[in-house]
Amino acid sequence: MLLKKNIPLRYIFGKIQYELLVILLYTTLIAVLHETNRVLPISIPLAIPALLGTVISLLLGFRSNQAYDRWWEARHIWGSIVNESRTLARQILTFTDTGEQGDDVHLFRERMIRRQIAWCYSLGQNLRGTPATTGLDKYLGKRELEAVSQYSNVPAAMLEQHGRDLKRALENGWVNRYQQVELDRTITRLCDAMGKCERIKNTVFPSTYSLYIHFSLLLFIALLPFGVIEYFGFLEIPLVMAVSASFLLIEKMAIHLQDPFENKPTDTPMTTIARNIEKDLRQMLRDQEFLEYEKPARAYYVL
Amino acid sequence: MLLKKNIPLRYIFGKIQYELLVILLYTTLIAVLHETNRVLPISIPLAIPALLGTVISLLLGFRSNQAYDRWWEARHIWGSIVNESRTLARQILTFTDTGEQGDDVHLFRERMIRRQIAWCYSLGQNLRGTPATTGLDKYLGKRELEAVSQYSNVPAAMLEQHGRDLKRALENGWVNRYQQVELDRTITRLCDAMGKCERIKNTVFPSTYSLYIHFSLLLFIALLPFGVIEYFGFLEIPLVMAVSASFLLIEKMAIHLQDPFENKPTDTPMTTIARNIEKDLRQMLRDQEFLEYEKPARAYYVL
Amino acid sequence: MLLKKNIPLRYIFGKIQYELLVILLYTTLIAVLHETNRVLPISIPLAIPALLGTVISLLLGFRSNQAYDRWWEARHIWGSIVNESRTLARQILTFTDTGEQGDDVHLFRERMIRRQIAWCYSLGQNLRGTPATTGLDKYLGKRELEAVSQYSNVPAAMLEQHGRDLKRALENGWVNRYQQVELDRTITRLCDAMGKCERIKNTVFPSTYSLYIHFSLLLFIALLPFGVIEYFGFLEIPLVMAVSASFLLIEKMAIHLQDPFENKPTDTPMTTIARNIEKDLRQMLRDQEFLEYEKPARAYYVL
Amino acid sequence: MLLKKNIPLRYIFGKIQYELLVILLYTTLIAVLHETNRVLPISIPLAIPALLGTVISLLLGFRSNQAYDRWWEARHIWGSIVNESRTLARQILTFTDTGEQGDDVHLFRERMIRRQIAWCYSLGQNLRGTPATTGLDKYLGKRELEAVSQYSNVPAAMLEQHGRDLKRALENGWVNRYQQVELDRTITRLCDAMGKCERIKNTVFPSTYSLYIHFSLLLFIALLPFGVIEYFGFLEIPLVMAVSASFLLIEKMAIHLQDPFENKPTDTPMTTIARNIEKDLRQMLRDQEFLEYEKPARAYYVL
Amino acid sequence: MLLKKNIPLRYIFGKIQYELLVILLYTTLIAVLHETNRVLPISIPLAIPALLGTVISLLLGFRSNQAYDRWWEARHIWGSIVNESRTLARQILTFTDTGEQGDDVHLFRERMIRRQIAWCYSLGQNLRGTPATTGLDKYLGKRELEAVSQYSNVPAAMLEQHGRDLKRALENGWVNRYQQVELDRTITRLCDAMGKCERIKNTVFPSTYSLYIHFSLLLFIALLPFGVIEYFGFLEIPLVMAVSASFLLIEKMAIHLQDPFENKPTDTPMTTIARNIEKDLRQMLRDQEFLEYEKPARAYYVL
């Protein structure tokens, strides 16, 4: 989750602690060798690791860009899920007509909006690989929960239920034909958002690029001490460690950002977003009660 | 606010004054050491800070790009809010029919357009973290203002009110079924714009990237004097300060641009934009009066 | 205007003539100093300006990209204005029905299409800061011209007039309800295009970035002669001037491209585009006369 | 296919084995020459290959970006095919009315959804250059399969069949006029997705760019040993081979990514995606049976 | 045309043969001078051309990107023309009703689809600057061809004809009101595609950028021999020629790609694409005959 809370530094450096330990040993060894052994010159011109450094910078830049784009697209998609959920709720509340069949319409509204809340939680859980139906009993009726549990893709099943409820609403005259089609478009956009999340989840960053960058980085770190030993002596150890840590961290950050649905501290805060959607939608639903449906409504549902 | 007015230079350099002071002391110390102490050679090859400089340039380029994109997207969104507000007003004025229920329709038009003006101010205040309902009493009726104040998200509540007014307009025959759906689409686009602003506001730039770049930059500044001391002597002090100031300023600019809704001199000029929208929409509303509704209208409202 | 005509070289170099003059004096001074004064070594390693050169290249690349994007987006928007104007004219001509009220419909068609032509000119003049109503009397009736002149935003007023004419067309049965909504969408897209132009016009490129890049560039030019004087002697003068001119020109070009609506030789050719739109729309209107309305039509209007 | 499974390393290095062999011989020859022949100095300054290295890095970065964009766009398109297929199925199931002509409607639904499944497989096979109708007999009736086989573009023919079935549905009153148009829009988006795949398939990456980058890379590899021989001696062999392998691999990866529909291990996993679509759509269809059409339905089709 | 066929190498190198000849003479002259004249040292440090090389690489990268984007956008647009042509044909065939006025409807279908084929050829010829009506007599009736020939923009005139035919279809009841609007949207998208092509055609790449890059490149090539002469002697000639050829070729490629509608071997294969559209649309039309209109149809038209 990348909300305004800080990510603990220990978490970050914890990810590269083994690499740093190996580099510490490696650089110390070279420094000791350099000081004790005066027979073999082990220094090389700095231009050689520098050449590698430029190439790696460019490749890490390319990789950071792609990883950032994936992460930012994930955030885009969940932003649009917020928007479409609010739009769906607004349309449900302001398209339907509470005429003669007032109670049925209110049940229909409630069912749609609560299912939409459930959909957001369910999609997040599905993307993170945890069971998609956990906790949905608060929002869905028992029979419906059983029905959607049969599906391999639970959120897709809920969108289908949305569509079927809409059909019933059209048949009962609660929405007119234009409104049905317009509501169906909102569902289509939710379907798109879901599919885009699955695409990001299921498409790995080309692993050969990752491998290549990692190998080049190791080669660069291995050559770097020889390039600076002559000027720094033992000071080479912290210098190489600082530079290596920078490069390794930037690589690790790219790896984390590129998978925005993996239950890591840097992923998309889907549960938080879903909770905010729930708050907004509940408020819209309750307000609706207050203004137009105050007395009998509370008998039907408890939020 | 990034309008055509200049940003005071003092404001800019004020942001890095402490860093510059530290660098001044640091570089002076090194220059003095270099002049007085002739035992230890403290010069290193320029290629070492140069290597770091290339990497940092690439990373600052990456960061500037992302920050600029966030800032530009924020400006895009507010540009589309201008467009959609005008579109909503135009549709309200040219879709509705002032037949038999002329006065009610005029009240409806006025209520919608004034709420739209209020929405723009409210969204800006909400994004900046100031109370969302300040000053809205000029545009909203007392009861409506109380109603929307109950909501945690005031602008979202107003869009819901838009939707509910539209429903009433359909029921009264002021708009036809196609026009209701079309107006609802405009509201949906306003809802999207609002959600996009919230996304930018709530999604921080990955803080580990920022940290890494900052640490690398400090390392670069710390090494730079040693690389140039041999050629410049005391002239090293202004040189290092100028180069450091450049890098620090570009980093600071990126930090400011990346948060376009934070009440800083460089953020999106939301109040100015909202004021322009108000001017345009008031003009459209008044003109409407002049042309078709001149006499009785002024009895109902004062702008 | 960036049409196929060449931009005079004198215009380009004229923009940097003062900078070049100063650099000429500066480099000559250094060359003379180097030849006459043999006491102080004034040469520095080329790596120092080279380091700055890399950083500046990256920043100029970033800036060129953003400036080009603004310029290209402006061209995009005016391209879409061409498309939407043609679409509006086509829809006006092929949606409306010349049944019983043939003459009124023809007047309506003509009024809409001529107003659309006027809108294109007016928007261009508005963006360039010249009076928005100059020359519109050829396209608009006297009363309408007076009405729109009252507005602070003349093109926006014309779109409102479009909407109001459409409403009348619906009331008179010249278009059906779907066609009204569809035509309104075209107007919405024109409204978007107008708002996008205003966004680009009113949003300045972050001025601190510009300042920083300019200062770094001056620092680079100031250091460059010292880096090459040793190898080139007096030949240093043309070399430094050529390199400086390159960097200064690229900076100037970015500055020009980034403001695509400022009445400069490199801006968007809005008048030319509007003239092409006029030609196309007039042809569509006249052709319509030939085919279906040949005899009585010419009595009503002269193009 | 770039799913979560690893790409075998042997596959990757197998692609550049001949190049590596030639480089091994070449570098060994130079090392031997350097050790034995002390007459001619064969060393050159590292700055010369370094200059080429920078240029090549930039060009490979450009190329990697374009290749990645093609690959990612292909994945985008297939992601949207997943979404539109689900949307089509949902609309078919929830728009149509099973009133008096229940059985016919069910047959219509089934025919549409099975044709959609067939379309996904067929498009994938078409793009890979294998026969487009292989295995479609499971989803299409015999007569229809024969009809579409006549077409040079089989998936396009199926979309036409979709449209014709929709027309029949409108004529029979199974969908209303808005729903027909809405369903036709979904088909239009499928048509767009198909056309985009064909565009990527049929547009080669400009081959002169590829050639240029390849020649520059060979020049760079040819010069590299002379630049490092002085410092490394025989160690130059593994060093040059490692660096060359990195550059060659990155070039190869770009070549593979840029053609995402070519039956290679890194291409778009179209068959897998189509199988997932089939699973989802079958489930939607079956579920439909369970809920509303349990008894007679199973007599008509076996999935 | 960038189809799968190879571009002849002679064509590529032919474009830079004069430049290469001049460089050959220039480098030979310098090499001879270096060998014979031992008085003046004409060697300069490689860092000077290297600095220019980095800057030029970045600028060529920027330029390649923009040129590639223009070329790729052109390809995108023609891809969407393929899609919209198929969509138009599908909608024409599946929206219209062959009830009582069967023959007239068939003539209408045929006229629309053949005009769409003609439009594709005509747009391509228009963009390439060849007469827009060449060869259209195969697809358009004589009177219509004369009518559209009057227009300065022939493809725009055809879209207008599309719109007018649609209006007649609505008046005759061949399409309903929703279908007319939906078909008009497809025409609007075709109109957009046409306008986008014209935008790319009429907007030149900022010529000052091109000039600057070209001058910098010449300066770089002029300095390069002096930087490498010391290490290579006569071998400097092929080396400088190879490096120069690389840079010149990449510049030439960018110049070609940036103008994708100029009748060059690398431009958009518009004729080939139009021919494929014709094949698809004819097949759709013929197939229609086979299935529903077999006997009388062939009397009316021969494809």
- What is the per-residue pLDDT across B168-181, written as a single tens digit (0 to 9) for each? 999 888 998 889 99
Mutation for testing the A interface, residue in B208, B209, B216 having most A CBs under 10 Å: B208
Q: Is the per-residue pLDDT at C21 higher than 80?
A: yes
Q: Specify whether the CB–CB gap between C273 and C77 falls below 8 A.
A: no
Confidence of residue C229 (pLDDT cuts 50, 70, 90): confident
Torsion sign over Cα D14, D16, D20, D26: positive
What pLDDT band is residue C39 in, cutting at 50, 70 and 90? low
Cβ proximity of D52 and D223 under 8 Å: yes
Sign of the dihedral through C-alpha B219, B225, B231, B236:
positive
pLDDT greater than 60 at residue B295: no
Q: Exposure string (b/e) for E82-113, b if CB count within 10 Å is 16 or more?
A: bbbbbbbbbbbbbbbbeeeeeeebbebbbbbb
Nearest to E291 by CA among D140, D161, D132: D161
Question: CB–CB of C44 and B231 under 8 A?
Answer: yes
Say yes or no: C93 contacts chain B, CB-CB below 8 A.
no
Place of tokens 């004096």: C25
Is A51 touching D (CB cutoff 8 A)? yes
E185 touches chain D (CB under 8 A): no
Distances (CA, A) of D233 to A39, A50, B296, D34, D220: 17, 19, 98, 8, 19
Task: Report the pLDDT value the prediction gives residue D294, as an integer from 0 to 100.
Answer: 36
Check if the beta carbon of residue A132 is closer than 8 Å to that of residue A122.
yes
Chain D residues 270-289 with CB within 8 Å of chain A:
279-280, 283-284, 287
CB A125 within 8 A of CB A194: no
The token duo for B246 is: 């450049």
The span from the CA of B46 to the CA of A47, in Å, is 11
Which range has the worst mean pLDDT, A180-194, A253-267, B234-248, D70-84?
A: A253-267
Q: Which residue reads 């002739």 in tokens?
A: B38
Contact A75/A268 with Cβ under 8 angstroms? yes
Closest to D209 in 3D by CA, of D69, D64, D15, D68: D64
Q: Look at residues C56, C88, C31, C66 and name the one whose alpha carbon lies nearest to residue C243.
A: C56
DSSP E78-105: HHHHHHHHHHHHHHHHHHS--STTHHHH
Who among C61, C91, C279 is closest to E152 (CB)? C279
**Within an 8 Å CB–CB cutoff, is residue D116 touching chain A?**
no
| Six token digits for residue A6 | 């800080």
Instruction: Name the residue in chain E with its Cα closest to that of D188.
Output: E87
Q: What is the mean pLDDT of residues B221-239?
A: 84
Q: How far is CA B194 from CA B73, B104, D165, D276, D303, in A?
A: 13, 30, 41, 35, 46
* The pLDDT of residue B1 is above 80: no
Between the CA of residue E263 and those of A62, B76, C90, E266, E272, what are the distances in Å? Answer: 35, 37, 31, 8, 13
Owner of token pair 């379907």: A191
Nearest residue in D to E51, CA atom? D51
Distance linking the first and last C-alpha atoms of chain C: 28
> Six-digit token pair at E233?
């002697």
| CA-wise closest residue to E247 among D244, D51, C228, D47 | D51
What local confidence, expressed as pLDDT, does residue B62 receive? 82
pLDDT at A2 over 60: no
The structure tokens 């055509």 sit at B4
- Report the percentage of chain A scoring pLDDT > 90: 33
Tens digit of each residue's pLDDT (9 = 90 or more) over E83-133: 999 999 999 999 987 766 678 888 899 999 999 999 999 999 999 988 888
Distances (CA, A) of A194 to A122, A200, D275: 11, 10, 18
Per the CB < 8 A criterion, the answer to whether C272 and C3 are in contact is: yes
Which tokens belong to E87?
A: 């969509």
pLDDT at D300: 31
Higher pLDDT, C278 or E35: C278
Both tokens of residue D249? 């691999």
Residue C294: count of CB within 10 angstroms of its CB? 9
The pLDDT value given to residue B114: 93
User: pLDDT tens digits, residue range C87-136?
Assistant: 999 999 999 877 666 788 888 999 999 999 999 999 999 998 888 888 89
Residue A141: both structure tokens together: 């009726």
Helices (H), ranges, D96-176:
102-128, 142-149, 154-171
- Are A246 and B215 a contacting pair, CB within 8 Å? yes
In this predicted model, what pLDDT tens digit does every residue of C177-211 receive, in sequence order? 889 999 999 999 999 999 999 999 988 887 777 87
Number of alpha carbons in the 13 Å side-chain half-sphere of residue B257: 24
Torsions phi, psi for E4 (to 5 deg): -70, -10
Residue given tokens 């066929």 in the structure block: E5
Average pLDDT over residues B14-19: 82
- What's the pLDDT score for residue E263? 72
Residues of chain C numbered 70-89 and touching chain E (CB < 8 Å): 71, 75-76, 78-80, 82-83, 86-87
DSSP secondary structure letter of residue E269:
-
C-alpha span between D84 and A129 (Å, rounded): 24
At B9 the pLDDT is 61
**A297 pLDDT exceeds 60?**
no
Compute the average pLDDT of residues B105-113: 91
Q: Do E167 and C87 touch (CB under 8 A)?
A: no
Q: Is C220 helix (H, G, I), strand (E, B) or coil?
A: helix
Q: Which of A163-177, B232-246, D170-184 has the lowest mean pLDDT?
A: B232-246
Least confident range from B238-252, D286-300, E220-234: namely D286-300
Q: How far is E15 from chain C (nearest CA, A)?
A: 22
Chain-wide mean pLDDT for chain E? 82
Query: Which pLDDT value is given to residue E164?
Result: 92
Length of chain D: 303
Using a pLDDT cut of 90, give the percent of chain D over it.
34
CA B120 – CA E152 distance, rounded (Å): 45
Answer for the pair D161, D115: CB distance below 8 angstroms, yes or no. Answer: yes
Could you tell me if the ipTM is greater than 0.90?
no
pLDDT at A302 over 90: no
Q: What span, in angstroms and rounded, lies between the C-alpha atoms of E74 and E196?
A: 8
Please answer whether residues A153 and A201 qualify as being in contact, where contact means their C-beta atoms are separated by less than 8 angstroms. no
First to last CA, chain A: 27
**D chain contacts of residue A230, beta-carbon cutoff 8 Å:** none
Tell me if E73 sits within 8 A of E200, measured CB to CB. yes
Q: What is the mean pLDDT of residues D236-259?
A: 84
Q: What is the pLDDT of residue D39?
A: 59
Cα diameter, chain C: 100
Q: B68 and chain C: CB distance < 8 Å anywhere? A: yes
Q: What is the pLDDT of residue C7?
A: 53
How many residues are listed for chain E in this entry? 303
First-to-last C-alpha distance (Å) of chain D: 27
D240 touches chain E (CB under 8 A): no
Q: Report yes or no: B180 and B169 within 8 Å, Cβ to Cβ.
A: yes
Helix-helix angle D47-95:D236-258, to 10 degrees: 30
Express as a percent the part of chain B with pLDDT over 90: 34
Residues in chain E with CB shorter than 8 Å from the CB of D164 are 93-94
CA–CA min distance B44, chain C (Å) = 13
- What token pair was written down for C82? 């061409």
**Which amino acid, A110?**
E
- Distance from the Cα of B212 to chain A's closest Cα (Å) equals 6
Question: D199 and E79: CB-CB below 8 Å?
Answer: yes
Q: Say if residue A291's pLDDT is above 50.
A: no
CB A11 within 8 A of CB A265: yes
CB A205 within 8 Å of CB A258: yes
Using alpha carbons, select from A239, A267, A212, A245 the residue that is nearest to residue A60. A212
| Closest-CA residue to D7 (of A256, A206, A200, A251) | A206
CB E269 within 8 A of CB E1: yes
pLDDT bucket at C75, cuts 50 / 70 / 90: very high
Average pLDDT of the residues in E274-290: 79
With a cut of 80, say whether residue E28 has pLDDT above it.
yes
pLDDT at A199: 93
Q: A211-215, B6-10, D84-88, E157-161: which range is least confident on average? A: B6-10
Cβ-contact B27, B237 below 8 angstroms: yes
Of A204-213, B183-192, E39-48, which one has max mean pLDDT? B183-192
CB under 8 A, 24+ apart: contacts of A260-263? A260/A70, A260/A71, A260/A74, A260/A75, A260/A200, A261/A74, A261/A127, A261/A128, A261/A197, A261/A200, A261/A201, A262/A128, A263/A128, A263/A129, A263/A130
Percent of chain B with pLDDT strictly greater than 70: 87
Residue with tokens 């729903």: D179
Q: Which helix (H) or strand (E) holds C204?
A: none
Report the pLDDT averaged over residues C201-230: 83
Residues in chain E with CB shorter than 8 Å from the CB of D182 are none
Choose from A61-75, A205-219, C31-45 the range with maximum mean pLDDT.
Answer: A61-75
Alpha helices by DSSP H, D233-259: 236-258
Q: What are phi and psi of D115, to 5 degrees?
A: -65, -35
Q: Which residues contact C271 (CB under 8 A, 6 or more apart)?
A: C121, C124
Least confident window among A65-69, C144-148, C246-250, D48-52: D48-52
- pLDDT at E289 (0 to 100): 46
CB D46 within 8 A of CB A48: yes
Q: Which of E281, E276, E278 is nearest to E92 (CA)?
A: E281
Give the tens place of pLDDT for each residue, D91-105: 999 998 776 667 888
Which D residues in the span 200-229 are in contact with A, Cβ-Cβ below 8 Å? 228
Looking at every residue in chain C, the average pLDDT score rounds to 82
